[in-house]
Amino acid sequence: MTEQHAQPHERRILGTELLWAFGVGVLIAAILSVVVFTALTRDINPPSNVERIDPKTLHLSGEFAEQNLGTTVARDGGVTVRIITTQFMFAPRCLVVPEGRRVTLRFASPDVIHGILITGTNVNTMVVPGFVAQVYSEFTHSGDLLMPCHEYCGLGHSEMWATVRVVPESEFKPDLDGRVACAQR
């Protein structure tokens, strides 16, 4: 191939490559714009609230002591669920949440890294010792859902799961000090 003859030909190849790169860039921009649109209109973000807490003294007093766990309804109607993820169980192991209302779930781990998801919903977060993991969501269907620990936390990892009971608004009745518990222990 002589020098002159190669010029236009080589340029045409690079032209097609750049056209392809431009097309792919447009598709990637489309996907990213869907992400940005969702974030702006429905407040959808990955759960992250960078809140530090000492895992060694969780059980003593403060937000994550044993008596303070489970679902509580504040005076302004805000539903908050506090859950401890510890080696090989959730405390409490059964949660009640209302359907259709925004619920804030707060997790803390006193020992190793855990992680949770609730089947059939977008609730998902890692629970790292030293931080409070906070996820808020609206549950769109009622029924009993499964909340397993989805991060390896030791030999009992497979048995670590809890039940999330999504009840319609009519059945979600907090008691005197705003707590709602599952029927069975």
Partner 1 sequence: MMPTDQPSIADDPLEVVDQVDEAALAEVMRVVPLGAGVLAGAAVALLVIGYLVIYLLVFLPRGTVG
Partner 2 sequence: MPPTSASEPHVLDRPWRIWASIVVFGIVLSGVILGVLIIPVIQGRSEGIDAYTAICRALGILPGSPAKQQVSDRTPPTPVSQVVWTPDVLQILADARPERGRAKVLEVCVACHGEQGVSVAPEYPHLAGQSGAAIYKQLSDYRTGSRTHESMTIIAKDLDEPTLADVAAYYAAQPKRNPNPATLAESPPAIVRLVELGDPSRNIPPCAACHRPGSGGPIETPILSEQGQDYIVLQLKMYASGERRNDVYGRMRAIASRLTQTEINGLAAYYRAGFR
Partner 3 sequence: MRNVERLCLAHFWVAFAAFLAAAVLGTWQMWVRSPLGANVGTPGQYFLSVTAHGVSMAYVLTIFFIMGFGYFVAVTALGRPLPGKLWAWIAFWIAIIGVVMALVPILMGQASVLYTFYPPLTASPWFYIGLVFIVAGSWIWCVLMLVAMRQWKRDNPGRPVPLAMFATVANSVLWLWTTVGVAIELVFQVIPASLGFGQTIDAGLARTLFSWTLHAIVYFWLIPAYIAFYTMVPRAAGGRLYSDTMGRFTFILFLVYSLPVGMHHLLMDPEHGNGWKFIQVLLTAFVSVPTLLTIFTVTASLEIAGRLRGGRGVFGWITALPWQRPTVLAAGLAFVMLGFGGFGGIINMGYGVNAMVHNTSWVTAHFHLIFGGSVVIMYFAIAYEIWPSLTGHDHASSAPLRMQLWLWFLGMMVMTLPWHWLGLQGQWRRIANFNYADPIISGWGPLVIVSLGGGLVLLASALLFVRNLVILHGGPLPALQRPLYALAVHPPQRVPAALNGFGLWNVLVLILMLLAYGYPIAQFVITPSPGAMVHRVH
Shorter beta-carbon distance to partner 1: residue 112 or 126: 126
Angle at 163 between CA 159 and CA 165, to 5 degrees: 175
Which residues, other chains included, contact 150 with Cβ-Cβ below 8 Å and sequence gap of 6+? Answer: 115, 116, 117, 124
Residue 174 CA to residue 177 CA, distance in Å, equals 8
Give the closest residue to 102 by CA, choosing from 43, 50, 170: 43
Interface positions, 16-75, toward partner 1 (CB under 8 A):
16, 20, 23-24, 27, 30-31, 34, 42-47
Residue 158 binds to partner 2 (criterion: CB under 8 A)? yes
Residue 59 binds to partner 2 (criterion: CB under 8 A)? yes
Kind of pairing between the strands at 94-98 and 131-138: unpaired
List of residues contacting partner 2 (CB under 8 A): 7, 10-11, 14-15, 18, 36, 39-40, 43, 45, 47-52, 56-57, 59-63, 65-68, 72, 74, 78, 80, 84, 86-89, 91, 93, 104, 106, 110-112, 132, 134, 136, 154-156, 158-161, 185
